[in-house]
Amino acid sequence: MQSAIVTRDLTKRYGSVIALDGVSLTVERGEIFGFLGPNGAGKSTFVKILLHLVKPTAGDASLFGVPVHEPRARKNVGYLPEHIRIYDFLTVAEFIRLHVRLAGIEHDAVRKEAEHCFEVLGIASLRTRKIGTLSKGMLQRVGLAQAIIGQPELLILDEPTTALDPIGFADVRRLLLDMRRCGTTIFLNSHILSEVERTCDRIAILNHGSIVAIGRPGDIAKKDHYLEIIADGITDEMLAQITSKLKISIGRDGSVLRAYPQREQDAAALHSMIAMLGGRVRSIRWHSETLEDLFCRIVHHETVDHQRNRD
Amino acid sequence: MKLWIISAIGIKECFRRRILYGMFLTAGLFIFLVRGCDSGTVRGERLLLDAEARASIAVSIAFHGIALWSFVLCSVLSMSVLARELDNGTALLTLSRPIRHGEFVAGKLLSAFIVSIMHLATLAIMLLVFVPAPHRWKIVLGTVFLVPALMLCTLMTSVFSLITPRVIAPLLAMMVYGTSCWAALPYYFDKLRLIWTPSPAITRAYQFLPCFGDLQFIGAAVVRGASFGEHLTGTVLNTIVYCVGLWIVNVILFSRRQRS
């Protein structure tokens, strides 16, 4: 069975600016995939290439095995852009019916499908309202309603919860999980890291147009599982001895040591060795980075490297 | 099918433009005023125009009037259909559906074209009702020749709107229309040729310009019941070539701007 999204060496340049730099990514069917990155990292460009709204400079992309330049690739795809712009003279019902028809749904089923979308997103009361009179949150719900038309096989959401209140937030999470249960693949561009951590099966972090980390949120964070030791009387010689004997990489910031042992047992060995060499351990604890810590660290680190390379 | 869905939304959008009603009412008022004018007696230096000749001249003037009015409206509507979609970003969501750029462009341009045709048809019907003419069906037949000219106008204005600021596009289109009419004049008015023989440069320009002038003068000839000369085949070919060419340019420019 074909993967939902496959891209190979996807590159996009705007003049001298590189928006995407050889991005290769595979999103399997039925997973919720989180796509993270700071502003200007190239996330929206990537999404637009998937929908053939932007042409890549190099590389190729396919949805369910169909190259993105073919209209049939978008046949079962729902999309919610980051800044939703709709014909403001239409009513909500007219807008939804327009997209039901554009999605290729049979003429007889148009009304039924539109009603289903109203119900799922709780916007039935907005049917007769003009789009131009809606608040940002309502507009976001209407946008989501058009994205789920026809139970798409792939749902691409660019910042879907930006304008929503906490209830809307929870509704969207519930909706995404329900859709995943029905087999929909969800590609989620978001800045709300806690939300991504709770909802996504896998994530990728994009920075300066390249993927800098990819995997399950727990696994990525686990890579940066370290031991934080606060100790007095530690000299550089002592650190060198511990490092060479236990083969543990240790960083130091004053009295705070950051050790990256390979095994859980190394914590006890480290503690006894510090004591043996004359140091006094005040506290020792395992520390795992949250996705937010990881995101900030990776993005910051990459940005510094990028700047250095440019200089 | 999707082309008609996009076109229906475009038509709705066109009907929201106040200029449409303003221009329609102005044209309607002028046509209505014609009814109240007493034709009187027109005496030239050497000739006396009879009632039929006077009616024929009045209908011709009205025909050219509604043609000009329709071109102005058509270019004003066409300047926004694609350029506004790009400026406002409303095309994004529609194009994320399984639709080709060509279909989208066709649907949007069709909407401006259809509204222009509706405007032209309404004015022609008013002309039929208010202006007494010996052969009323000729007005209908003459108006048919303006339909391809409006299509050309839609396509050309849209191209201009994609490469220049939107407001300049109708002005450029009207310049081409005016030049085409001016260049075509000596080929349809024998007496004019006696005092002005077009130079080879004008003849070449006439051959390569879009045939707005020819279509309008052929229509006017049909309305007057006169012969429309030997230019029909060339005009049809020129119009087809221009329509196809401008359509392709529209799709290419729209796609490039959309995807850039």
pLDDT tens, residue by residue, A192-235: 787 788 888 999 998 888 888 888 887 776 666 778 888 888 88
Closest CA to A20 of A8, A10, A31: A10
Cα separation, A96 vs A187, in Å, equals 22
**Interchain pair A71, B100: CB under 8 A:** yes
Q: Which of B4, B96, B105 is most worth mutating to test chain A (most A CB atoms within 10 A of its CB)?
A: B96
Mean pLDDT for A104-126 is 82
Contact A294, A213 (CB under 8 A): yes
Query: Which residue from A55, A79, A83 is facing B259, i.e. has the nearest CB?
Result: A55
Mean pLDDT for A10-15 is 90
- For residue A311, pLDDT beyond 60: no
Mean pLDDT for A93-105 is 89
Return the beta strands (E) in A91-168 as ranges.
Answer: 154-158
Mean pLDDT for A73-92 is 89
Distances in Å between the Cα of A178 and the Cα atoms of A42, A181, A182, A186, A236 are 29, 5, 6, 11, 55
**Interchain pair B98, A72: CB under 8 A:** yes
Distances in Å between the Cα of A186 and the Cα atoms of A180, A202, B216 are 7, 11, 56
Q: What is the DSSP letter of B45?
A: S
Judged by a CB distance cut-off of 8 A, whether residue A130 touches chain B is no
Judged by a CB distance cut-off of 8 A, whether residue A105 touches chain B is no
pTM (2 decimals)?
0.81
Judged by a CB distance cut-off of 8 A, whether residue A82 touches chain B is no
Query: Which residue from A71, A84, A86 is facing B98, i.e. has the nearest CB?
Result: A71
Nearest CA in chain B to A56: B259
Taking contacts as CB-CB distances below 8 angstroms, the residues of chain A near B259 are 53-55
Q: For residue B255, what pLDDT is reported?
A: 92
Judged by a CB distance cut-off of 8 A, whether residue A310 touches chain B is no
What is the gyration radius of the CA atoms in chain B, in angstroms? Answer: 20
Q: For residue A108, what pLDDT is reported?
A: 79
Q: Which residues in chain B show pLDDT less than 70? A: 34-49, 51, 131-135, 228-229
- For residue A23, pLDDT beyond 70: yes
Closest CA to B140 of B62, B24, B222: B222
Judged by a CB distance cut-off of 8 A, whether residue B233 touches chain A is no
Distance from CA of A49 to the nearest CA of B (A): 9
What are the percentages of helix, strand and coil residues in chain B, rounded to 5?
80, 0, 20
Q: Which of A47, A53, A102 is most worth mutating to test chain B (most B CB atoms within 10 A of its CB)?
A: A102
Instruction: For chain A, give the percent of residues with pLDDT over 90.
Output: 23
Distance from CA of A212 to the nearest CA of B (A): 26
**Interchain pair A53, B98: CB under 8 A:** no
Q: Count Cβ neighbours within 10 Å for each residue of A205-241 and write b for 16 or more, e otherwise.
A: bbbbbbbbbbeebeebbeeeebbebebeebeeebbee
Q: For residue A56, what pLDDT is reported?
A: 92
Judged by a CB distance cut-off of 8 A, whether residue B4 touches chain A is no
Distances in Å between the Cα of A97 and the Cα atoms of A113, B80, B222 are 8, 24, 45
Higher pLDDT, A40 or A293: A40
Rounded to two decimals, the ipTM of the complex is 0.81
pLDDT in tens, B87-139: 888 888 999 999 999 999 999 999 999 999 999 998 888 878 776 656 677 78
pLDDT mean across residues, chain A: 85
**Interchain pair B259, A146: CB under 8 A:** no
**Interchain pair A81, B93: CB under 8 A:** yes
Mean pLDDT for A241-269 is 81
Higher pLDDT, A241 or A296: A241
Residues 6+ apart with CB under 8 A from B45: none
Which residues face A16 on adjacent strands?
none
